[in-house]
Amino acid sequence: MTETAIVILAAGKGTRMKSRRAKVLHALAGQPMLHHVLATARTLAPERLVLVLGPDMEAVGRTLPEGAPPAEIAIQQERLGSGHALLMARHALAGFAGDVLVLYGDVPLITAETLNALLAARRSGAAVAVLGFEPDDGAAYGRLVIGPEGGLERIVERLDADQAAAEITLCNSGIMAVDGGHLFALLDGLGNDNAKGEYYLTDIVAGARARGLECVHAMAAAEEVMGINDRAQLAEAEAVLQNRLRRAAMKNGATLIDPATTWFSLDTVLGEDVTVGPNTQFGPGVRVADGVEIRAFCHLEGADVGAGAIIGPYARLRPGAEIGAGAHIGNFVEIKKARVEKGAKINHLSYIGDARIGAGANIGAGTITCNYDGFTKSLSDIGAGAFIGSNSALVAPVVIGDGAVVAAGSVITRDVSADAIAVARGEQDERPGAAARRRDKKKSGQAKG
């Protein structure tokens, strides 16, 4: 089995993004587009993984996700073209003679299946295998020129294409696999006599043919090799990726009532028999167990939801929310960094933050945990089977014992014992006839005026 090294070229400035952020750090499905490429690369289990960055891209290196093997970073001090960028990996690939797969940090939708097909084409005996595609509009792409016997003869860049080359429909994605034994000799032979004065990686095809080496191509779907250069293309790629994630969720046993309005993060995990209502968004870090119902207009991020729970409608689960099996989180309820245990119910208009809600507890409408005093955040601990009346405020740190009852409208500032009833509100004062007297007085004053 031939070993594989992967080089990801990500040194481009991305000026058309109109952003202070590096282009490859702009997000798709909640993750930087570069992370999508890295995740796909790592599924191929490469022996070496190299990331080529520009000299002003330290932020990119700091955001790399954990994984094995780690990526070695090479810096392209001068941006002199894609061929020059790949030369920056020479040190990292010293002595490597296997396949070198070249990917791009701004082409995040490529799949492992397509890359494996490209590697298979290279291993058929070719020195270079290039990934081609046929877009609806090829005006922006270089062309793959195929010889009479089906081999790849050369790649013509868009700016250098004559009329005959421009009429070719087979376009260059930029992604290629190269025999590592020939790679750097081919790169060293590149020139920059072209419209942009750059060292084109694509010229290694002509260089390989001049040396009597075979070159071939493999095919990809146009959406897989979509490059992202501006915000509009970022949105187009997001739409493609969301459709992939929706199909995968449904294939794996989830029901999406309105797939087009359900938005996933790359790492969203849904169990079997999960039902997701319309206009639901999953931010990063959400895991949902089997049999959960998520009703319409919910937003979940950094949350774990246990089997059989019911969420929403209009619920928000923020990072650190742990929802137990069979729990109910109802409309306009916000949960942050709180554990809601098995069977507990928070059905209406509540904020629960930095808290534990014990199994079977019931939290009445309008209840809030007052977890922040302007300096520190403290815990509210509500015991199993406790009942918190509507419109109550629990001022943390505070413990409500198992089975305790807090009367509606209470402001609880001290611990409540198990099975006790706590009432913490002003005493009701009734003045018979006072309302009628007030009305009469007001009417009399208006008449005089």
**Residues 270 and 213 occupy one common structural domain:** no
249-269: pLDDT as tens digits: 999 999 999 999 999 999 999
**Residues 219 and 313 occupy one common structural domain:** no
Identify the residue whose tokens are 């493999």: 218
**Residues 112 and 193 occupy one common structural domain:** yes
Residue 323 token pair: 């929802």
**Residues 278 and 354 occupy one common structural domain:** yes
- Residue 444 falls within a domain, yes or no? no
State the Cα–Cα distance between residues 364 and 346, nearest whole angstrom: 7
**Residues 140 and 262 occupy one common structural domain:** no
- Residue 249 falls within a domain, yes or no? no
Residue 192 token pair: 């920059």
**Residues 15 and 164 occupy one common structural domain:** yes
**CB contact set of 1 (below 8 Å; sequence gap of 6+):** none
- Residue 242 falls within a domain, yes or no? no
Element of type H or E holding 446: helix 434-448
* Whole-number pLDDT of residue 441: 92
- Residue 87 falls within a domain, yes or no? yes
Residue 75 forms beta bridges with which residues?
A: 53
DSSP tag of 327:
-
Residue 16 forms beta bridges with which residues?
A: none
Of the listed 36, 91, 182, 348, which one is catalytic?
A: 348
Q: Are 252 and 270 spatial neighbours (Cβ–Cβ below 8 Å)?
A: yes
Q: How many residues does the chain have?
A: 449
State the Cα–Cα distance between residues 398 and 380, nearest whole angstrom: 5
**Residues 149 and 267 occupy one common structural domain:** no
Other C-beta atoms lying within 10 Å of the C-beta of residue 71: 22
* Whole-number pLDDT of residue 1: 66
Judged by DSSP in three states, 31 sits in: strand
**Residues 162 and 112 occupy one common structural domain:** yes
Q: How many domains does the chain have?
A: 2
**Residues 45 and 112 occupy one common structural domain:** yes
Q: Is 406 exposed, middle or buried (0-12, 13-18, 19+ CB in 10 A)?
A: buried
Residue 74 forms beta bridges with which residues?
A: 52
**Residues 297 and 409 occupy one common structural domain:** yes
344-370: pLDDT as tens digits: 999 999 999 999 999 999 999 999 999
State the Cα–Cα distance between residues 280 and 38, nearest whole angstrom: 28
Residue 402 token pair: 């198992």
- Cis, peptide link before residue 397, omega less than 30° from 0: yes
Last residue of a domain, one of 225, 246, 268: 225
State the Cα–Cα distance between residues 437 and 199, nearest whole angstrom: 92
What residues make up the domain containing 98?
4-225
125: left (phi over 0), alpha (psi -120 to 50) or beta: left
Looking up residue 315, the CATH number of its domain turns out to be: 2.160.10.10
* Whole-number pLDDT of residue 117: 98
- Residue 333 falls within a domain, yes or no? yes
- Residue 263 falls within a domain, yes or no? yes
State the Cα–Cα distance between residues 338 and 358, nearest whole angstrom: 11
**CB contact set of 443 (below 8 Å; sequence gap of 6+):** none
Q: Are 135 and 141 spatial neighbours (Cβ–Cβ below 8 Å)?
A: yes
Q: Are 84 and 76 spatial neighbours (Cβ–Cβ below 8 Å)?
A: yes
State the Cα–Cα distance between residues 190 and 204, nearest whole angstrom: 7
**Residues 221 and 259 occupy one common structural domain:** no
Residue 280 forms beta bridges with which residues?
A: 262
- For the question of residue 328 being annotated catalytic, the response is no
- Residue 96 falls within a domain, yes or no? yes
CA atoms within 13 A on the CB side of 335: 36
Which has the closest alpha carbon to 30: 301, 254, 271?
A: 301
* Whole-number pLDDT of residue 405: 98
- Residue 250 falls within a domain, yes or no? no
**Residues 181 and 100 occupy one common structural domain:** yes
- As a three-state string, the secondary structure of 240-261 is HHHHHHHHHHHHCCCEECCHHH
Looking up residue 64, the CATH number of its domain turns out to be: 3.90.550.10
Backbone angles phi, psi at 394, to 5 degrees: -105, 110
The stretches in the chain having pLDDT less than 50 are: none
